[in-house]
Amino acid sequence: MAPIKAAGLRKVYQKGVRKKRVESLKGIDLEVGDGEIFGFVGPNGAGKSTTIKILMGLLKPTAGSAWLYNKPVRDPASRGSVGYLPENPSFYGYLS
C-alpha cells in the first residue's frame, strides 16, 4: 500500500475577464511508498503547491484521482494523520 498516490492529476484554472484557461497540472502520476522520503522540487509555477493542495483536499482536480492511505483525498478520514502548514500561514492572534 502506498501512503500517497496520484493518477492522471490535472488542474485547469480560468483566469481573467476573458476566462483564459491555464493548465497548472498536466497528468501527474505519483506514488510514494511506505517509509520513502520524497522531495518535491521545481521552479515557480511548476504545480508543486497545486499538487499538495489537491492531496490535502483543499482543491478539486480537473481530472484524475489522488489517495492518502488508500482513501480518496476528498474523504476527511484520509487526512487524519497528515498535517499541512502553508507557505504563508495565518494564525489567529487571540489563540496564541
Strands (E), the chain: 4-15, 20-32, 63-68, 71-72
Unique residue bearing C-alpha cell 522540487 = 41
Q: Is residue 88 part of a domain?
A: no
Range in 14-18, 30-34, 87-91, 92-96 the model is least confident about: 92-96
CB 31 within 8 A of CB 49: no
Number of domains in the chain: 1
List the CATH number of the domain containing 43: 3.40.50.300
Range in 48-52, 74-78, 84-88 the model is least confident about: 84-88
Residue range of the domain that includes 41: 4-76
Closest to 30 measured CA to CA, from 64, 77, 71:
64
Q: Is residue 90 part of a domain?
A: no
For 53, phi then psi, to 5°, come to -65, -35
pLDDT tens, residue by residue, 14-65 = 887 888 898 999 999 999 999 999 898 999 889 999 999 999 999 999 999 9
What was the pLDDT predicted at 96? 60
Reply yes or no on whether the pLDDT at 73 is more than 70: yes
Q: Is residue 95 part of a domain?
A: no
Q: Is residue 83 part of a domain?
A: no
Q: Is residue 72 part of a domain?
A: yes
Q: Is residue 48 part of a domain?
A: yes
